Amino acid sequence: MEHVDLADLHMHSHFSDGQWSPAQLVASAKGHRLRAIALTDHDTVAGIEEAALAGRAAGIEVLVGVEISTWLDADVHLLGYGFDPEHAGVATLLASARTSRAARAELICDRLNEMGVPVSMQEILDQAAGGAIGRPHVARALVEGGHVHSFREAFDVYLGDGKPACVEKARVEPAVAIQVIHEAGGAAVAAHPGFYGGTEFLEPLVAAGLDGVEVRHGLHDEVTAREFEDFARAGGLVCTGGSDFHGPGPGRAGVGTVTIPYEWVEDLLERAAAHRAASGTRRRV
């Protein structure tokens, strides 16, 4: 089957807070006839191998990817692409992020218990099933325990930013994450910037060597996407985009619902290649 020249470069598997396996994501991408995807789990590359194998079998290009939580006055997500997933610097950074996610989940559980919500740490850990643990796992545990009616209510009442059981994550600086991605031969992209504010908040990231901006995302309307695209092009940055798929459900964008032209993937991989040449890292895409 011929593919269309489109790519979806943002999605999560059950190795972080997504609900599908990497192989299921690849199968869905094949159903949408995508040419390329990237698996961008939160703070882990554990699903990359399965995604790459499935991609090879399905004839879909699977880029190495990750979504790293950093802190710049607030939670800021950075996407890394085309890096060596076995690079020691990346492994150390992600391992430390996962350790602090586990500790934070305990704090979130304590807060909920103090608020009279009797969810247990074991119920939360069961939802994460050994993957990088996040608020969506807590939300699913709350739904299963009958403490809220829906995933949405869990975030609206307890877990969303600024809500009583939202605990901040460890403070990795974006500049540090960008540097580590570069050292591992990859390109660094600001995820869903419209969620955080206007283009001005990108300035310090650009100063730290940011390669690209995720201009197409379900949280961006057309005007926002255009504004970020203009900003990226004017600054010589590449543009990316993707569905940020976490699993099927009401109001959730599916794989392939937000796409970019394949040429944007080539531009992105060119940036990664430049960092790889500078760092002497071998190619692993």
Residues that bind ligand AMP (CB under 6 A): 17, 42, 69, 134-136, 155, 160, 169, 246
Among residues 108 and 191, whose Cβ is nearest to Fe ion? Answer: 191
Piece of the chain touching Zn ion by CB under 5 A; list 12-20, 85-93, 139-147, 181-189: 12-20
Query: Of these partners, ligand AMP, Fe ion, Zn ion, none, which one is at the site of residue 30 (CB under 5 to 8 Å by kind)?
Result: none
Q: Which of 6, 9, 15, 17 is close enough to bind Zn ion by CB under 5 A?
A: 17
Q: Give the whole-angstrom CA distance, residue 22 versus residue 3.
A: 19
Which residues, at least 6 apart from 108, have a Cβ–Cβ distance to it below 8 Å?
A: 124, 135, 138, 159, 165, 166, 167
Q: Which residue's C-beta sits nearest to ligand AMP?
A: 134
Phi then psi for 128, rounded to 5 degrees?
Answer: -75, -25
Within the chain, where are the H helices? Answer: 22-31, 48-58, 88-114, 121-128, 135-144, 151-154, 174-183, 203-207, 222-234, 262-279
Task: Specify the residue, 97 or 205, whose C-beta has the smaller distance to ligand AMP.
Answer: 97
The nearer residue to ligand AMP, 82 or 136, going by C-beta atoms, is: 136
Closest among 263, 264, 261 to 6, alpha carbons compared: 261
Residue 43 binds Zn ion, judged by CB under 5 A: no
C-alpha 249/C-alpha 259 separation (Å) is 19
Rounded to a whole number of angstroms, the minimum distance from the CB of residue 64 to Fe ion is 15
155 binds, among Fe ion, Zn ion, ligand AMP, none (CB under 5 to 8 A by kind): ligand AMP
Q: Which is nearer to Fe ion, 3 or 264 (CB)?
A: 264
List of residues contacting Zn ion (CB under 5 A): 17
